[in-house]
Structure 1
Amino acid sequence: MRKSITMLSALIGMSLSAQVSAQVENGNFESWSGNTPDNWTTIDSGISVAESSNSYNGASSAAVTVNTDSQSSTDLRQSVSVSAGQSYTFITWVYHTEGGVRARLYVDGYQGYSTPTLTGQWQQVSYNYTAGSTGTIEVGLRFYDVSGFDGSEVVYIDAFEPTTSGGGSTGGGGCSTNGGELALTTDNYGGETSWQITNSSSQTVASGGSYASNTTYSEAVCLDDGSYTFTINDSYGDGICCSYGYGSYNLVINGSSVASGDSFGASESTSFTLGGSGGGTGGGSDLSGYYASADGLTGFALKSELHNIIDSHSTQSYSALWSFYLSYGRDTYYENDGSILDIYSENPTGSDSFTFTAGSDQCGSYSGESDCYNREHAFPRSWFGGAVSPMNTDVHHIFPTDGYVNARRSSYPYGEVGSASYTSSNGSRLGSAASGLGYSGTVFEPIDEFKGDIARAYFYMATRYEDVIAGWQSQSSYGDAALNGSSNQVFENWFLNMLLSWHAQDPVSQKEIDRNDAAYSFQGNRNPFVDHPELVSEIWGN
């Protein structure tokens, strides 16, 4: 049974309401009657369910075999009781085997999707629900076929559970609408791990510690609107992954991840804001303020309205990028030494091989790595025709990087490398594409720490330049390999699937949030996929 640990410190300035629980019965799929999991009563004709030992925790999970592409026949559900004004965070864990089927959470209606391209590993899908009335609702999952579905595919489901937080009926001092959960998996030395959430007055409002080793925990979190900092600590100073076990953490509030990671030193902190309009929170499903006109839209209609919102930004000069890097391109996240943060040389888990001094180490000429830093177009400018405004100076996709590594990357598409011909000091690689990627040419692969940053920069480019990007396919042979000549999907299937995987594997960080805020000040528009990462699946999830 998955453990649920009580917060070890008092909740300052707020209180948890009485636990009026929408208890999911047999959510860990440990109880079975033949091939039917007990308490799961709505099993449609398009799926079959069997007990499996491939579990997220406990002894069993549900192996759901999807046998149809008729989406009206693939639901697995049960009814739970809820109380008016009460907030519940429903969470389940999904394990995809082939990538041709995705799971959609059902909580009194169809909610968020899993990412089918993340195969061979468990992923979390969650949704925060506030009951409008007292009664019963249905919860569960529906399974959808996607590209690559061959008529039959197994998806494993486990640990379907709610977390209860206070609702509006609790009166003053109760939690607002910001309920969630910290999912924490410890490494071989769980006793070294602790965490806390502090508010804007540096008061600790939630914390945990004294954990067992190699154990998964689920901690309920209930927060009022405001600004917070989540900090995870390792008393030995070597983080929770990956030298001595494979620990990780993911703090989900209102259905969106606001802090996650695994590899760090003595501590790692992430700031987030709840209840604010506009952007800068790193997530949230309420499209208000800056994004209000896109609220309620999905698919490519949502993408087009986002384009209207972020279009026509204030074009800056190419030289102004140097000034942006001087102010906002420094390392205040890893070594915190004020050097230029170069995604092609930064070592997130140790000392960098070299550093660049902001301003004085601008390129210039170079003959090898570490000579100077320059302006890397993550989306190569040859793909859109060269030094063409406003793309050529759009800071949302232009990062400070080592000049020599930038040149080695050239205009090759990003990808996953099978055989490397060149490796930078932090492990970024150039080489032939890995088998199974769907592309056989030369690609450049950044390290995992920055893959999500790059993916969200590409989703930004596909949206900001929706009105012209269909014509870019013919500008470059490398661009043609990644772009499909459309203004809606924009990317070839292999490239889109990879970007979706990178986006999911490397969630939005505080570094991205801060950079997005700075870019808004610099040129007057935002990257919606940093502010609301869930919009990626709303647009490209199909």
Structure 2
Amino acid sequence: MIKKILLLFVVLVSDVSFGQIVINELDCDTPSTDVLEFIELKSATPNFSLDGYVIVFFNAGSTSPYAGSLSYYAVDLDGLVTDGNGNVLLGNLQVSPSPSSIIPQAMIQNGPDAVAIYLGNADDFPLNTPATATNLVDALVYSTNTSTAANLMGILGETVSYNENVNGLKDSQSIQRKTDGTYEVKPPTPRANNDGSGIIYNGITTTYAPIAPLTEGQSMTVSFTTDANVSSDLNFSFTLSNGSFTASDYTGTTSVTIPTGTNTVSTVIQLLNDGVNDGDENLRITIGSVPAGYIVLRNNISVRVTDANYLTSSWGTPLNPTYGQIASTVPVGYYTSLEGLSGVALKQALQNIIANPAVVRAHNYGDIWEILKTADQNPLNNNQVWLMYTERAQTKIDYQSGNSIVGFWNREHIYCQSRGGFSDGTSSFADGINVWLPTGPNDILAGHADAHHIRAEDGQENSSRNERNYGVDYSGPAGNSGSWHGDVARAVFYMCVRYSGLNVVNGNPAQNPDGFIGNLTTLLTWNHSDPSDDFEMNRNNYIYTWQMNRNPFIDYPNLADYIWGTHAGEPWYSTLSTNEAADLKFLMYPNPANDNLTISGIRGGAVVEIYSCTGQKVLNEYFSDSIKLQLDLSSGVYFVKVTSDGKSTTQKLILR
């Protein structure tokens, strides 16, 4: 009985929480280019936190019930708090009085459409997510004509669609909630109770210049502006401290006064350069308490401060690779047992090395954050990581720590978790390099935290890749140059040897059954067209210090050909493998190129071959010392291979 009473209490509390927030007002159609759109929410109690809620806007799609109703915009409400009237306003920058959260101009569509509040995050509703009643808190179906979104009404459980143009005044009226829960259309009342009651607040908006990111040593001007002129001096203070960013990192006045009869004040903050490389930081502009009658809008503004004292490395990024600068730290004799083996015996001997239970160490998924911050460090700035698919750097402190993936980098499994069968196989608790678990070839769950196939990646691109197969289904974001192609190939090859039951196959295999990923032909091509570089070798060396095993396909890329490729079944010898890119030097310019390309710096005869990104040879020419090629090729990414005196190297070429 006690358990039943407790359960009933939890249900009642949950129902109260669901009913706390409703859509109070919507103005979807405003004059000219829709620069005054807004949506206002209302809570049953004042000063209510909207953490854990999200607003989602839906297109009506097909008029047939329950079909084609997809999201086009979602806004996280985390950090917003309703005012003393229970209201919070989201809208365009031009909306007056000022909103607490900004919605891009002309974003809210005129309908027939719908807007809904859910428990969740914007990440739960990526573009074109079907409308749902799951976790629904409140919804409004609307239009600016007599049309109705019957499908959305059915999905969201609404029986009425409201027409903002019912009075023929859509540009000057909005849809407003009445106390009985129905809606009426009348002149807008943003950030005020719809019935005219309540407190009329003077909102305080914070801005700063120049726009972030700022750098240590710069100054920034912080400005505070009220909706209306103040009737008496308005005094308040603000803070900038946030985590490692403290009062020792800046100078300037943080107590300000807006004088009587005015509505703005500014103060200059000087960011200090401490001369120490202690990483990028975020300051946070937070206004403290303000007098009655005022509310703070868009508080807790985060501003990136870039460390001016970052370090660089001698080797290049994957986008501009270097070769031969980073020496392998492979122990003497590490691969000796492979000499002369072929076929199944070669693959098994390789597994015996990299999955040796007496040597290899398994770590937790929580440790991967620390590993990636070093293994995937941007050679051009040690305070950043290099994001593989998107081919760009991002500050280390922007790692995903909450539910949102927007603007953050996270951990991408190259051999995706769902295909590998190791989803959530290890703990999210980081216990460091000196704590590890025993492992072996059949310990598939260790693949969940195997750093040899986990890379730093843009959160949204990670989500976009999902479990798609390389080449046949996924080739990266639009416009990428494929600087990661060889990296993913060698990571997949590693996983298919390290763990029993993992396979790389041709085609586009479905996710089930677990243990299959594609496309083998593409990956074998990528292994050659994007050769192992210094970035990968440095990564291999560092991960070895944690896991006590290496990715052999970085040390000897042609091993893949002897296991799956053109040399399968032939005996392998280490003398067959050389770091060709490190041995042959030549100049290739311009790059990017238009219709001609010059190759020079070769002594004697050489052969140049150009391959498309799909591996098709499109040019083959013999030359001596140097050559100027006239290119009649489509724009895109190509790979130029130059061979001379038995040595070869491949460089990426972009044709415009």
**Rg (Cα) greater in structure:** 2
Question: Could you say whether these structures have the same fold, taking a TM-score greater than 0.5 normalized by the shorter chain as the test?
Answer: no
**TM (normalized to structure 2)?**
0.32
TM normalised by structure 1 equals 0.38
Q: RCO greater where, 1 or 2, for CA within 8 Å and sep 6 or more?
A: 1
